[in-house]
Structure 1
Amino acid sequence: MSGMGRAAKVRAERRLETARRGARLLDRKQRILEDELERLQIRTELARAEWGDLAKEATLWLRRAAALDGTGRIAAAAPLEAAGVVLRWGRAMGVLYPEDPQCRLPAALPTGGSSALHYTAVVHRSALEAGVRVAAAQRAEMLLAAELAATRIRQRAVENRWIPRLENELLQIRRQLDAQELEESLRLRWAADQNSGNTAGSMLAVGGKGD
């Protein structure tokens, strides 16, 4: 029984050490994700501010072009092909997220209108590129924030439930082993006392016969 108890103690100690090591790794992962998320949040704010300025400028020049050239010439200046986006992927603690997107813009058509119409097309292309950067940054921020929240939940589960449960299990095993060792010690002492008493009695009996 004591051998089985000692084996259970070793297993419980290993599981507890695994849980503690897991908690340390989750804490490290959480800190790395926090740092990366902070970096992405700063990048998102900068990209959002840039996109906001360009969008306002594009709106202003679109109104001027409409007043000078008319909506028909504006429509004729629109590219025939749609823009595309090529994403590069970053990685942080196993999380993939879009990073440094490249916007593929179609070739610009000759506007044939005023300089306002030409500049309107230029600023709209810049605003589109900035919008793509904002979208990618927001998506990256969302993915990392979701992983960070999940990591915090797992860490709390390990620290608040798994480790205390294993510590209690190990404590119970140690108490059981202590009780078994005490019982075994008392049994051996009792047996030794019995043997000592029997030996003394035999010696007295032998001495009595000699007299």
Structure 2
Amino acid sequence: MSPQRRRVPPGRAGRLKLRHSLDSAQRGADLLERKLRLLLDKERTLRREADEAGRLWQTRLAEAETWLVRGVLIGGEQALAQAVPADLARVEIEWTSLMGVTYPSAVSWRAPARSPVDRTPGNTALAHAEDAYRAAVRAAAEHCTARTAADLIAAEAETTRQRVRALRRHWIPRLTHELSIIELALEEAEHEEAVRRRWAASPHRRSPR
């Protein structure tokens, strides 16, 4: 007899406990499967968003590098150094939760502000390069946000899948088997009791010596 079986009380009390445990396990598996479907749907959505943001990032980066080369060819490297603003870009990540998983959901972006003392790009190509790099940085942030969110959701989905597998393949079958054993024992006991009662009530039973 397994340790789990030894914790089950005998008779009808044990049957009641096992039925309750089995019902709870089945309801838990159903809830986890619904959670898994929601997580997988969300992961697919986030993967698409990450792919789109990744393609946009690569496009903007290629555009920025093209304009940068043109700007440097026109104005030289000195013009490039003079065109960089002193301020820095600001990226803030917003977080949300789904089915117990906290993940990044949005990006708040603020481009670097050019102060009155900062010099502007020395030529049109560098101005285009600046705009393209800003767009590329924002797309990169959105790509990383969506990819990280998808990875976190995927990890929770895998954990949920394992829990469902444990319930469906191990715990529920074990409870079902234990319940069948105790129900068979109760059925046999009830049958024996019925036989004894019929025998006791029979007028033809032999008197004890």
State if a TM-score over 0.5 links the two structures.
Answer: yes
CA contact (8 A) 1:73 1:113 kept: yes
Q: 1:186 aligns with which of 171, 190, 195?
A: 195
**Aligned-pair CA distance for 1:83:** 2.1
**Aligned-pair CA distance for 1:23:** 0.7
RMSD: 1.8
In the other structure, the counterpart of 2:78 is: 72
Q: TM-score, normalised by structure 1?
A: 0.87
CA contact (8 A) 1:12 1:170 kept: yes
Q: Deviations over 1:133-163 (max 9, x none)?
A: 1110110111111111111111111100010
Which is further off, 35-44 or 137-146? 35-44
What is the correspondence of 1:42-57 to structure 2 with a 5 Å cutoff? 42-57=48-63
What is the correspondence of 1:1-211 to structure 2 with a 5 Å cutoff? 4-108=10-114, 109-193=118-202, 196-197=203-204
CA contact (8 A) 1:47 1:134 kept: yes
CA contact (8 A) 1:111 1:117 kept: no
**Aligned-pair CA distance for 1:71:** 1.8
Which residues of structure 2 form unaligned runs of 5+? Answer: 1-8
Q: Within 1, Cα distance between the matches of 2:145 and 2:10? A: 57
Write 1 or 2 for the structure with the bigger share of helix.
1
CA contact (8 A) 1:36 1:92 kept: no
Q: Which amino acid in 2 is paired with 1:40?
A: L
Q: Within 2, Cα distance between the matches of 1:4 and 1:144? A: 43
SS of residue in 2 equivalent to 1:20:
helix
Q: TM-score, normalised by structure 2?
A: 0.87
Q: Within 2, Cα distance between the matches of 1:184 and 1:37? A: 59
SS of residue in 1 equivalent to 2:91:
strand
Q: Within 2, Cα distance between the matches of 1:51 and 1:100? A: 16
Q: Which amino acid in 2 is paired with 1:70?
A: G
Which residues of structure 1 form unaligned runs of 5+? Answer: 202-211
**Aligned-pair CA distance for 1:112:** 4.6
**Percentage identity across paired residues of the two chains:** 37
**Aligned-pair CA distance for 1:4:** 4.4
CA contact (8 A) 2:85 2:119 kept: no
Q: Within 1, Cα distance between the matches of 2:121 and 2:66? A: 20
